[in-house]
Amino acid sequence: MERRVVITGIGLITPIGNDAETTWSSLLAGVNGAAPTTLFDTTEFATKFACEVKNWEPSKWFDKRELKHLDRFLQFGVAAGMLAVEDAGLGTKVPVGLEHRWGTFIGAGLGGVRTIEDSYAAAKLKGPRHGISPYFVTDIIINELPGMVSIRTGATGPNISHVSACSTGAHSIGEAFRTIRHGYADGMICGGAEATISILGVGGFNSMRAMSTRNADPQHASRPFEKDRDGFVIGEGAGVVVLEDLESAKKRGARIYAELIGYGANSDAHHVAAPAPEHKGAQACFKVAIEDAKLTPDQIQYINAHGTSTDLNDKNETLAVKKVFGEHAHKLAISSTKSMTGHMLGAAGGVEAAITAMALQRGVLPPTTNYVTPDPECDLDYVPNVPREQRIDYAMSNSFGFGGTNAALVLSRYKGD
């Protein structure tokens, strides 16, 4: 018998807040995380701004020795993981005696890019013996992230990184959902992290002409589904949730944000970076997730969209929604919180699934900000500019990644049954 799975803890480190409550308040207030880049010199770069994490104080989670070498993506991911565990009412450790029934699935899209850059520069300057840290390998590999959370929490169950570009966080949560539903674990700490606001990260996306160059007005650069969008705004941070078997969560009196009821994952099998025509892969993914949730499309009331603010994604995602939902597509509320957080890449799916859970719990839908001029090809209800009080029962969170990978999570409001 399949077990029911609920979200009991949320940990967020975002460009608009260093915890879940601050991030949520910022979303409802329309706070935008974009500002001139401070993490490296952008003089020769086409894009000179980003959504950086502000007022970051990692000393709460790491000692001075660790901070001398620990990559920023690991800092964000571990901090979000521990915040989620604390928020779930577990303190810092998974339940005693059940450590083997708890696991960690946390991924990243690119991992320790900044450490690679810095280490290469140091090796060129000082030579390999003195320029390369003994921590180099452990600071760049993505699976160190769930490993570090596992060590800190005592979770000895499955410990895996799912890496699927910008759908990493969503896939991590979806696979953790399946792990609990089918009885392989009772609880999972899962999501994604990213920290690629760097020479290679920004330079690579600039070379692809994927990023906004609205340098004179960063605060209004990320404008998903809007006619004058000119590319995404890179962000950083982490989004991690605690998933639990419903009966286990009830037994320990855990607070429940929402129930996770469906998951879809598939591939476009089309192109390394561009979505398939009409986003046919996304269409199929939506259908799988909704069927897995044992719902029909007309029961979904809200979608937290991938909504990157790029020309191809936004019009194709809109078309995919219209193909799958038919006339109901025009009754759906849809928002892209990337309009405020920027595109957090491997962290995006984790952050956005958490936001969707909070929207279900609180009866408020976050807006798509910077929505000024409608795009005729994007003609749905994007909850423009201001939050909307609306109690919903079922919602979906979408994530897509380079390589044609797609993920969709379906969540429901927990009604205490």
Active centre residues (catalytic): 166, 306, 343
218 near 321, Cβ under 8 Å?
no
Task: Give the whole-angstrom CA distance, residue 306 versus residue 312.
Answer: 12
Non-local (6+) Cβ contacts of 207 within 8 A are none
| DSSP letter assigned to residue 43 | T
Non-local (6+) Cβ contacts of 156 within 8 A are 99, 100, 102, 150
Structure tokens at 21: 């409550």
Instruction: Return the number of other C-beta atoms located less than 10 Å from residue 55's C-beta.
Output: 6
| DSSP letter assigned to residue 44 | T
CA atoms within 13 A on the CB side of 295: 24
First to last CA, the chain: 18
Structure tokens at 328: 């109901």
CA atoms within 13 A on the CB side of 177: 30
Q: DSSP labels for 123-187?
A: HHHH-HHHHS-TTHHHHH-TTHHHHHHHHHHT--S-EE----GGGHHHHHHHHHHHHHHTTS-SE
Q: Which phi and psi angles does 89 have, rounded to 5°?
A: 80, 20
The single-letter code of the amino acid at 105 is F
Non-local (6+) Cβ contacts of 174 within 8 A are 263, 264, 265, 407, 409
- The dihedral over CA atoms of 149, 26, 352, 169, expressed in degrees to the nearest 10, equals -30
332 near 380, Cβ under 8 Å?
yes
Cα separations (Å) of 7 from 43, 144, 357, 396? 43, 24, 8, 14
Task: Give the whole-angstrom CA distance, residue 400 versus residue 311.
Answer: 14
